[in-house]
Amino acid sequence: MSGRRPRTLLAMAPELRPRLLDEATRARLLRVADVDPELVADDFHSPRVTAALARAEVLLTCWGAPPLDARALAAAPRLRAVVHAAGSVKQLVTAACWERGITVSSAALANSLPVAEYTVAMVLLSNKRVLQLREEYRAVRDRPHDWHLRYGHAGNYRRTVGIVGASRIGRRVLELLGPYDLERVLYDPYVTDGAARELGARRVGLDELCRVSDVVSLHAPALPETRAMIDRGRLALMRDGATLINTARGSLVDTAAVTEELASGRLRAVIDVTEPEVLPAGSPLYDLPNVFLTPHVAGSLGNELHRMADSAVEEIARYATGLPFAHPVHREDLARTA
């Protein structure tokens, strides 16, 4: 490995740095980069980071990093690369970055793994009706009836799971569901029938997917054309007792329509992302027994942040030796990715 260690500046929410960089990853970062691990930029125009930004060749960013707009770039004349230790770069990398020719890497692949794992767990638990059983067992605290008779419709054998979006996460979910006795259907306007078959799924239209699926799981990006794609009409197409899983973006679902449908008790839902990001305290979704609501934690949480950090440090090591990024972000791809 070359002895070159590019001057690097950390940019993220300051409280995130010790959770992102454990002792081992911090030591690896110091070996491949000339970096002050105690200096964290959350404002590129702060006097305490101005000198470091002016010298930086690489930015190692994560959640909470300020946008790299034209003013920030003007203060960073030596900047050549952004290595993002998280998923989407849309809130960070502006048009000015692309116009300047800055190369960008993202740990989106690393962040996709826990989302896919969360999703698969929820698919299996939803079809088994475990969440509903837990609520009922907690209420009765007895065996007043035969659970097998009452839940004769439960189980994962030959159920149909609909995946909306062949994103990194959607593809990983399809892969992880492979060993189970489930039929997999896929909606993605950019995927052909043959490509869907290679992913182990049958390609269908979105309306058909809603009609035939026992679980509908969303993995599409937030784009103008995907806004409220799960609307009142498509919710009505879903089978009685079907489950909607959203680990993608809250904007994909019509919040008012899904709240009304879930309040009726006809459908079930696992919801990790909402619009707004935090629902009003009075939202029925907090209390409905047929809703499993989590606060946007399907992605990297706890020690899963270390996977993203390891990915980012490896990218800096590649950059230092003149290799291209293993996980580059291209401007033209952002129009159809998260």
317 three-state secondary structure: helix
In this predicted structure, the answer to whether residue 144 has a pLDDT above a threshold of 70 is: no
Q: Which residue has the higher pLDDT, 131 or 219?
A: 219
- Cite the DSSP H helix spans in the chain: 17-20, 23-32, 47-55, 70-74, 95-100, 108-127, 130-140, 147-150, 168-177, 193-198, 206-212, 232-237, 255-263, 305-320
The predicted-structure confidence for 149-177, as pLDDT tens digits, reads as follows 888 899 999 999 999 999 999 999 999 99
Confidence label for 53 from pLDDT (cuts 50, 70 and 90): very high
pLDDT of 338: 67
DSSP-assigned states of every residue in 121-147: HHHHHHHTTHHHHHHHHHHH-S--S-H
pLDDT value of position 162: 98
Amino acid at 165: G
Q: Whole-angstrom Cα distance, residue 136 to residue 120?
A: 23
Dist CA 100 CA 154 (whole Å):
56
CA distance 123 to 173: 10
150-154, 214-218, 250-254: least confident range:
150-154
Q: In degrees to the nearest 10, what's the CA dihedral of 278, 296, 251, 128? A: -120
Residue 66: predicted pLDDT? 96
Is 2 a residue whose pLDDT tops 60? no
- Mean of pLDDT values over 194-216: 98
Position 276 scores a pLDDT of 96
What percentage of the chain exceeds 90 in pLDDT? 91
pLDDT of residue 147: 84
Residues 279-308, mean pLDDT to the nearest whole number: 97
Encode pLDDT of 6-28 as tens digits: 999 999 999 999 999 999 999 99
| pLDDT score of 44 | 96
**Does the structure show a pLDDT above 50 at 1?**
no
Q: How many helices (H) and strands (E) does the chain have?
A: 14, 12
The model's pTM: 0.93
